[in-house]
Structure 1
Amino acid sequence: MENDELFKWLSPILVGLISAALASFLALRKFKKEKVWDERRSAYKEVIESVEELIYWSEQVRANYFCEPVIGVQANFDKSIRKISKFSATGSFIFSEKFHETLKQANLKIKRLMFEIEEDSKPDLGSEAEMASWKLALAKGIREVLEESLPTLIKLANKDKT
């Protein structure tokens, strides 16, 4: 009789402990996955916003060159270029392989374009008009590269969230 009563008292306690441990383990695992996704989502957002900011910058350069009014705040070219470069170098552990490869290719095209335009136009940057023309050529090239890459980056980021 003594064993039956002991089993009667211990079995609910044992079931409760096992259930609590399992629930705790599953909740912690879910929390970690959500935390990792929040970090990844933030990085995806930074990259896509930087790409959009550079497209906006190129439109501002074009509008200024043709003396059109520019509405809105001034885009930050250097900060956006730096973010794209940073994430193309370090993003392999954050982003999906396809997203990272697309970002690296866009960054490589931008760097190559900047080098080519710099080398081609360096002797011609004597006046303000020549500088504006150089900046317009750079903006046009960057815009073409990023408008080609942006839809793919958005599609891959959306695909990765599932």
Structure 2
Amino acid sequence: MPEVEIPMWFVSFCTALLAAFFGSLLAIKKFKKEKIWSEKYKAYQDVLSALEAMLLWANETYCHQKMIPTKGTQGIEGGNWPSFTEARRVIAKTTCVGSLLLPTEVIDELEALESDLWNENFRADDERYYYPNTHEESEAIAEHADNVEKLIKPRLKAIIQHAKKDLG
């Protein structure tokens, strides 16, 4: 049986082709990993910004109702601060589609927060509309803002811890 000799240029070509193939696989894998990390970072950034805006609203509303001086951030509604409603929308959206990127623990925290805020809004609306244009209404609004802050703060801390672990 005659020996088949493989030309050296063919061996070099095949080696280069294999190296390029495996190099591209590694590059694609790295790109996907970086893209997923970037998308997770953006999702956490949106959630944390929304929670912070809701805390700001709660603090400003409480202080306004109690006639306590504030930082004056309530006057920048048209600025970069999302409104309470917009922030709630970000949280609601993240609970629906965020499970594609964020861990189950974070989604569970956000769903529980959504439920608690819904219950608190329902409770506050009943109380606030029972005493229209009175001191009691102002007190009910202040209590509502205080309750919202108490609901958000522990979840904000928990989500920050999850984000550090997830992105670290």
Shared fold (TM-score greater than 0.5)? Answer: yes
Cα drift, residue 67 of structure 1: 1.9
Match of 2:144 in 1: 138
Cα drift, residue 128 of structure 1: 5.5
The RMSD of aligned alpha carbons is 1.9
Alignment of 1:1-162 (within 5 A): 3-4=4-5, 6-74=6-74, 76-124=83-131, 126-127=132-133, 129-162=135-168
User: What's the CA shift string for 1:54-106, capped at 9, x where partnerless?
Assistant: 11111111221222222243352111122112212332222101111111111
Cα drift, residue 110 of structure 1: 0.8
CA change 1:3–1:128 in 2 (3 A) is farther
Cα drift, residue 133 of structure 1: 2.2
Structure 1 unaligned residues grouped into runs of 5+: none
* Cα distance in 2, alignment partners of residues 132 and 95 from structure 1: 38
* Cα distance in 2, alignment partners of residues 128 and 19 from structure 1: 77
Cα drift, residue 23 of structure 1: 0.2
User: What's the CA shift string for 1:23-61, capped at 9, x where partnerless?
Assistant: 011101211121122112101111011111111111111
Q: Which is richer in helix?
A: 1
The percent identity for this pair of structures is 24
Structure 2 unaligned residues grouped into runs of 5+: 75-80
Task: Provide TM-score, normalisation by structure 2.
Answer: 0.85
Cα drift, residue 116 of structure 1: 1.6
